[in-house]
């Protein structure tokens, strides 16, 4: 009996010694300053002005076009895709075919480019794939599917974004539009039609850009209008004792009315914001820790929206999705390199805070290295684990490229460094 007791005690001691007292988590950094101290953030004013001119050209593109720049096949891609797939509704059950067919009928695609009117977003909204706020999911029982991956969500869209309206849905509640970065359906209540005189006024004014999240916007009588996220752009009309005076949009009888509003100086700057360490730090800090939002779901950001909104205040244009962003600037192919060669090349050729790191389905901002280890800032949903599971991160973080290697059940072939295909220096 005594012998058995001591054997059991010895087993417990040995077992306890082998078990970690704390769960193992991937290494995530929370401070941007160490990279700014070790890195010279440098972009000449001449180069920045050229990039800003390109930004303005892209931003106002919808008001320069006479019709939506797409084909009928372009705008109906979702019909072909989702009628051929098994898709699910918000109740986690298969989406009824008659519901999808009602959305397709309401989309009124035969009226494509019949309206061709200029408009503007009057408060933060969403571009949807079909004219409905209802979601489309793939099998929600699978990790990496279900909420928040609503495949009817194309993109969040900020207030004051220029639009070209192709046509309305049959019920009149939705408009199919071309924005500066995406096509999609937006609720008619969220837009206002704009005159040529108003377009000229807006385009000719300097711009103020928000550097702070969720800024309350009021009209000139101090009535609340909406909350605006960082990188929202407003026309600038003057200064007033610690405030920028800007124009904000209001809708009256479907048309745009421009009213004045005041934004505190510490929450915004004139565009383009100088690409200096203190400004890079300011923008990055607002993004760090923000929850992941597929396609801008619930006013959060995904990986490519994070990179777009990081560069926008500095007047640097990026397309909407990660694959398109990876084609901007000077491209350096890493696809045939070993892991060590990739990391060495990024350090030698990449420019911190001006370089994107691309892997299929994901984009990251290179911010520098510590002890010859590359670090990136990115908004990431999670780390793929064995049997197609996920270790959820779900926010904007700073990590190295070996994120998750220390997890016992991580899928080693899915580690970031192994999947990286290229980098591109967007300032070149």
pLDDT digits (tens, 9 = 90+) for 219-261: 988 999 999 999 999 999 999 999 999 999 999 999 999 999 9
Q: Judge whether residue 14 has pLDDT over 80.
A: no
Residue range 150-169: mean pLDDT, rounded = 98
Is 191:122 a contact under the CB 8 Å cutoff? yes
SS3 content of the chain, % helix, strand, coil (to 5): 30, 30, 40
Instruction: Tell me the percentage of the chain whose pLDDT exceeds 90.
Output: 88
β-pairing verdict for 174-178 and 117-121:
unpaired
More confident residue, 22 or 367: 367
What local confidence, expressed as pLDDT, does residue 182 receive?
A: 97
**Listed residue (304, 365, 272) closest to 43, CA to CA:** 272
Residue 74 CB-density burial (10 A; 0-12 exposed, 13-18 middle, 19+ buried): exposed
pTM, 2 dp: 0.93
What local confidence, expressed as pLDDT, does residue 44 receive?
A: 87
More confident residue, 111 or 7: 111
Q: Judge whether residue 4 has pLDDT over 90.
A: no
CA separation, residue 301 to residues 44, 118, 278, 307 (Å): 29, 27, 23, 9
- Tens digit of pLDDT for each residue in 305-318? 999 999 999 999 99
Residue range 115-137: mean pLDDT, rounded = 98
Q: Judge whether residue 2 has pLDDT over 50.
A: no
Q: Judge whether residue 268 has pLDDT over 50.
A: yes
Mean pLDDT of the chain: 93
Residue range 39-60: mean pLDDT, rounded = 90
């Amino acid at each position: 009996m005594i012998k058995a007791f001591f054997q059991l005690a010895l087993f417990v001691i040995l077992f306890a010694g082998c078990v970690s007292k704390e769960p193992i988590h991937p290494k995530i950094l929370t401070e941007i300053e160490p990279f700014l101290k070790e890195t010279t953030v440098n972009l000449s004013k001449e180069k920045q002005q050229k990039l800003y001119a390109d930004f303005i050209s892209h931003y106002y593109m919808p008001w320069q076009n006479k019709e939506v720049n797409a084909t009928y096949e372009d705008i109906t891609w979702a019909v072909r895709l989702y009628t051929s797939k098994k898709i699910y509704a918000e109740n986690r059950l298969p989406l009824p075919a008659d519901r999808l067919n009602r959305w397709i009928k309401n989309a009124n695609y035969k009226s494509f480019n019949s309206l061709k009117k200029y408009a503007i977003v009057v408060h933060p909204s969403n571009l949807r794939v079909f004219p409905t706020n209802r979601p489309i999911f793939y099998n929600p029982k699978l990790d990496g599917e279900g909420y928040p991956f609503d495949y009817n969500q194309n993109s969040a869209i900020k207030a004051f974004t220029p639009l070209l309206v192709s046509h309305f849905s049959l019920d009149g509640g939705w408009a199919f539009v071309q924005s500066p970065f995406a096509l999609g359906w937006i609720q008619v209540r969220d837009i206002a039609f704009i005159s040529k005189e108003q377009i000229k006024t807006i385009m000719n004014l300097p711009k103020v850009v928000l550097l702070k999240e969720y800024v309350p916007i009021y009209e000139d009588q101090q009535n609340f209008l909406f909350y605006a996220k960082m990188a929202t752009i407003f026309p600038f009309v003057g200064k007033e004792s610690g405030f920028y005076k800007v124009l904000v949009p209001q809708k009256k009888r479907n048309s745009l009315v421009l009213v004045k509003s005041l934004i505190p100086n510490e929450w915004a700057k004139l565009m383009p914001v100088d690409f200096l360490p203190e400004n890079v730090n300011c923008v990055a800090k607002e993004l760090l820790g923000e929850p992941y939002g597929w396609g801008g779901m619930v006013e959060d950001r995904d990986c490519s929206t994070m990179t777009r909104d990081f560069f926008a205040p500095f007047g640097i244009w990026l397309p909407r999705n990660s694959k398109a962003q990876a084609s901007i600037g000077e491209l350096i192919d890493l696809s045939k390199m070993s892991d060590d060669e990739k990391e060495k090349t990024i350090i030698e050729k990449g420019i911190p805070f001006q370089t994107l790191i691309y892997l299929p389905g994901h984009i990251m901002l290179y911010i520098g290295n510590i002890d010859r280890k590359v670090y990136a800032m990115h908004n990431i949903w999670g780390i793929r684990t064995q049997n197609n599971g996920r270790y959820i991160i779900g926010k904007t973080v700073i990590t190295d490229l070996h994120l998750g290697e220390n997890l016992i059940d991580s899928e080693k072939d899915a580690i970031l460094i192994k999947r990286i295909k290229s980098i591109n220096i967007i300032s070149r």
